[in-house]
Structure 1
Amino acid sequence: MVTSPNESFRRLRGQQSPAEFAALVRRAAREIGETVACDARYIGRVEAGEIRCPNYAYERVFLHMFPGRTLSDLGFSPRESVRGRGPNRFAPVPALPSPAPPSSEESDVLRRAFISGGSATVAAATLGFTLPRRPGAHRRAGEAEADAVEAAVRQIRLLDDRHGADGLHRRAAEPLRTAYALLDAGTTRQSTADRLHAGAGELAISVGWLAHDSRRFGEARSHYAEALATARVSGDAALEAHAFCNTAFLARDAGRPREAVRAAQAGQRAARSVGSARLSCLLTLREAAGWAGLGDRPGCEEALGRAHTLFGRGTSDADPEWMSFFGEAELEALEAGCWSSLGEFGRAARHARRASNLQDPHFARNVALYTAQLADDLARAGVPDEAAAAGEQVLDLLPQVQSSRVAAMLSSTAVALLPHQRSPRVAGFLSRHSAL
C-alpha cells in the first residue's frame, strides 16, 4: 500500500526539529497524566503517513496539544478505516521492539493473534519467538513455550535497564497474557508446568514493575498480586519472595509505609527456604524503607544493620537471576532513600553519591536514578550548585532513559532549587529542565 505524507501534521511542527517536537509531545502527555515514548522517529513515521491513525494515548495527547481540532484536522484517517486493514496485517509483530509506541494497526494484530491462535501461534506472535507447530486440535505447551516465556522476561528486564519503563509497559502486557494462556492450555510434563508458572509469575512482576516505574500504581499492584497468587498456587517460595519484595517497594512509593513493612517481612519469611543472603538483604532493605516512611528511626536503623550483615555474606548460587541489578550501588541507593525519608539529607546525599559512582554504566536507568536522587538530596541539604550539577548529568542521560520515576525526581529537584535561581549554575539547570 502506498502511503501519502501527512502534510497537515508536518505544518503543525513548524520550524521545530522532529526531536524538539517530540519533546513537546512528551511534555503535553505529562500534563494530562498520560505516558508516551515519543521520539523523532515516531514523528517522522507520522509525517511520512506510516501511522495513519495514532493509538488512543497519542490521540488524547494530540487533541490536548491542539484544542478544538479533530484527528482529521491533524491529517489522520478515521480509526475505523484503518483498523485491521492493509497488507501487513498478518506480518510477524515483535512484542518487545525498541520502546517506540505501537500504531493502532500493530496493537490490533497482537490482540487478534492472542484471541484466535493456539498456544504456539500466540507465543510466536506476541513474544517474538519462532515456536514449533503442535499436532492435533488441542495444543499443549512444551519446553519451547517455556523457553519463550523465560526469554521474554529477560528481554523486558534488559530493555528496562537500558531505557527505563515509559513506553515499554504497554507492549509487555501482551506477552503476559500469552504466558497465562499457555498455562491454561496445559502442559505435557509437570516440569514444564513448573517452569511456566515461574515464568508467568516473573513476567507478571516485570510488567508490574514497568507500570510501577511509570507511576501507574493501581496497575502495578494488580500485577504483583497476580504474581503472588501464581507463587502460592505453584508453591514457589522464590517467586513469592520476589512478589512481596516488589509489593513492599510499591507500598512505600504509594505512601503506605506500614504495608511496606508487613510485605517486606512476609517476603523475608518466604525467602528463608531459598537460601539467598542477597535476597533476604534486599527484603530487609525494603523493611527499613517502610520504617523510615513511618518516621521510626530505631526500627529503620535496626533493619539497615541486619541488611548490611546479610550483604556481607556475599553472593551464592541460590541468588535469583532477577537480582543481577543488586550490588553495592543499589545497597547505597536504598540506604540513601531511608535517610532522605527521615529528613537527613546530607547523610542521604553521601550514600546517593556512592551509589552513582559505583553503578555499572550498563544500567543506564539506574545511573540516571541514583544521580537524580543525589541531586534532590543535595538540593534539600542546602547545596544548590552541586545539586544543579548533578541534575544536569541526569538531563544528559534523558535521551536514552525514559522513566517517570526519574522525571518526577528531577521535577522535585527543580522546585527545591527555585529559590536559588540567581546562581548561574542553578539557572542553567532550571532553563534546561524547563525546556524539556
Structure 2
Amino acid sequence: MSTSRNATLEAWMAENGYSSNSLADAVNSAVGDLTGKVGGLDGSSVRDWKAGRVRWPKSATRVALEKVTGLPAAALGFVPRGRAPSSALAPPPEDPVERRRFLTAGTALAAATVTASSGSSRRIGTSDVDRLQQRFTEIIASDHRHGGRLGIEQKSLALAGEALALQSSGSASQRVRAYVYACAAAFRSSAMWAAIDGRRFGEAMLHMREAQALAELSADPAIKFRIWSHAGTLYRHMGRPMEAMAANDVARSLSITRRDPLFASLGLARQAAIHGVAGNATAARRSFARAQDAMDRADPRANRPVWMISFYDQAELDSLALTGYLALGDYETAEAHAHRCLAALRPHMQRSKAIATARLACAQLGQEDVGPAVATAMSVSRNAGAHHPRVARMLRSFHTKLRATAPNSPTTRMWNQYVHATWKDSV
C-alpha cells in the first residue's frame, strides 16, 4: 500500500524546533502525565508518522501528542481511520476527556487556519493588535480574581492560537507582526502561569517552551522577562531552587531591568523568595533589601505593560517576602510582611488575598499562636479554599501542623468542625 508523507507534521516540527527524538521524548512524558506510565516511543516512531506509515496514532499517544503540540491530530496531518485524506481536518468520532481538556485552543487554531487558507487576505493592523491586547487584559483580570483555574489556562491557550492564526490571515508590517507574536507569547505565558498556579507543572513546562519561542520571534524584552521570571517561579514551586535561580537570572539579565527599576525589583524579589526555599537566609535578606531599594527608585509614571502594572507593587513585594521568610522558618518576619501585604493589596487581587491570608495563618501557627492562626485560616475565602489548588494545599498543611501543635486544644476542635462544615474533602 502506498503512503504519502505527513508534510504538515514535518512543517510543525521544523517550525517548533523538534527533532524526531525530542518529539518522542516530549510525547512519552505527556503519556506519563496522562496515564501514570511513561510512553515507549522513540525517534523511529516519529519517523513513521512523518513518512505516513502511521496515519492515526493510538489513543493515548494521540492525546499526548495533542497535549504537546496544542493542536488536534487531524490538524497535524493525521487521518482518522476510515476517513479519506480530504476530511483530515474533521474531528475524529471519539472525544476523550483529556482531548477536551487540553485542545480547546488547537481546535480554534485549526479552524482559523482553514479560514485563512480559503483565499481571503487582508491587511493586519494595529486595530487587530489592540483587540488582542484587550483580550489579554481580560485574562489578567480573571487571573487576579480566580487564579489557577483550568478555564483560564484553556482560554489563554485558545487566544494564543488566534494570535498565531492572525499571522496567516493577511499581510502586515514587520512591526505589527512583532506585536502579534508578542501577544501570542503573552497569552501562552498566561496559560503557563495558570498552570503553575494550579500546580499543573507538566502543562506549565509545555507552555513555557512555546512562550519562549514566541517571545524570541517578538523580540519584546518585557514579555521575555515575564516568561523567564515565571520559569523561575515554576521551578521554585517544583522544589528545584538551582533551576529556579538560573531561570530568574536570565530574566534579571535582560536590558529592561537596567532601564526600569521596577523590573529589577521584581527580579530581585523573586530571587529572594528562591533563596528562601534554598535555605539561604543571608542572601534572601540581602535580595529583599535590594528589591525594596529598586522599587523605591522606580518612576510610578513610567509606561509599562498591563500585566506588570496590574500586579507588581509594594503588596506583591511583601507577598514574596512572606513566601521567602516562611520557607526559612522566620515566622515573625513572615507575619510582619503578611500584614503589610494584606493592608496594601488592591481590591481586585482576590487570589493574592487568599494566598497571603493562608500564609499568614501558617506564620502565626509557626509561632504557636494557635488562636490567631485558626481565626486567620477561617477568614480565607471559602471559594479559594475549595477551588484554588495552592490555597487548598496550604490549608491542608496548616491542618496537619495544627493537629501536631495542639491536638487536644478546644481551638483545634473548633477548626476541625469548621473544616468539616466548610470544605469537607478540600482540606
Do both proteins adopt the same fold according to a TM-score greater than 0.5, normalized to the shorter chain? yes
Letter in 2 for 1:382: E
Q: Which runs of 5+ in 2 are unaligned?
A: 1-32, 35-96
Higher helix share: 2
Counterpart of 1:254?
238
Counterpart of 1:116?
111
Contact 1:183/1:193, CA 8 A, preserved across alignment: yes
Contact 1:208/1:219, CA 8 A, preserved across alignment: yes
Contact 2:156/2:188, CA 8 A, preserved across alignment: no
Of 177, 202, 223, the residue aligned with 2:207 is 223
Counterpart of 1:235?
219
Correspondence 1:312 to 2:296 = yes
Letter in 2 for 1:166: R
Compute the TM-score of the two structures, normalised by the length of structure 2: 0.68
| Stretch moving more, 164-173 or 302-311 | 164-173
1:353 offset after TM fit, Å?
2.1
Counterpart of 2:418?
432
Letter in 2 for 1:411: R
Of 250, 260, 266, the residue aligned with 1:282 is 266
Letter in 1 for 2:182: A
| Stretch moving more, 228-237 or 255-264 | 228-237
**How many Å separate the matches in 1 of 2:252 and 2:176?**
27
1:196 offset after TM fit, Å?
0.4
**How many Å separate the matches in 1 of 2:135 and 2:367?**
42
**How many Å separate the matches in 2 of 1:257 and 1:421?**
33
Counterpart of 2:135?
152
Letter in 1 for 2:265: C
Q: Over residues 354-396 of structure 1, what are the superposed CA-to-partner deviations in whole Å (9 max), with x where a residue is unaligned? A: 2122212221111111101101121222111111111111044
Contact 2:108/2:161, CA 8 A, preserved across alignment: no
> Within 5 Å, which residues of 2 pair with 1:119-268?
136-138=119-121, 141-168=124-151, 169-185=153-169, 187-268=171-252
Contact 1:276/1:318, CA 8 A, preserved across alignment: no
**How many Å separate the matches in 2 of 1:381 and 1:291?**
22
Counterpart of 1:417?
402
Counterpart of 1:408?
393
Contact 1:202/1:239, CA 8 A, preserved across alignment: yes
Q: Percent identity?
A: 28
Of 319, 322, 345, the residue aligned with 2:307 is 322
Cα root mean square deviation, aligned:
3.0
Of 383, 400, 422, the residue aligned with 2:369 is 383
Contact 2:160/2:183, CA 8 A, preserved across alignment: no
**How many Å separate the matches in 2 of 1:147 and 1:374?**
40
**How many Å separate the matches in 2 of 1:196 and 1:331?**
31
1:232 offset after TM fit, Å?
2.1
Contact 1:276/1:319, CA 8 A, preserved across alignment: no
CA gap 1:114/1:423 in 2 versus in 1, 3 angstroms: same
Three-state SS of the structure 2 residue aligned to 1:394 is coil
Q: Over residues 192-251 of structure 1, what are the superposed CA-to-partner deviations in whole Å (9 max), with x where a residue is unaligned? A: 212101111111111111111110112112212322222223322111111111111111
How many matched pairs?
A: 324
Moved over 6 A (4+): 104-110
**How many Å separate the matches in 1 of 2:389 and 2:101?**
25
Of 345, 348, 368, the residue aligned with 2:354 is 368
**How many Å separate the matches in 2 of 1:223 and 1:109?**
14
Correspondence 1:355 to 2:341 = yes
Counterpart of 1:16?
none
Compute the TM-score of the two structures, normalised by the length of structure 1: 0.67
Contact 2:132/2:163, CA 8 A, preserved across alignment: yes
Counterpart of 1:398?
384
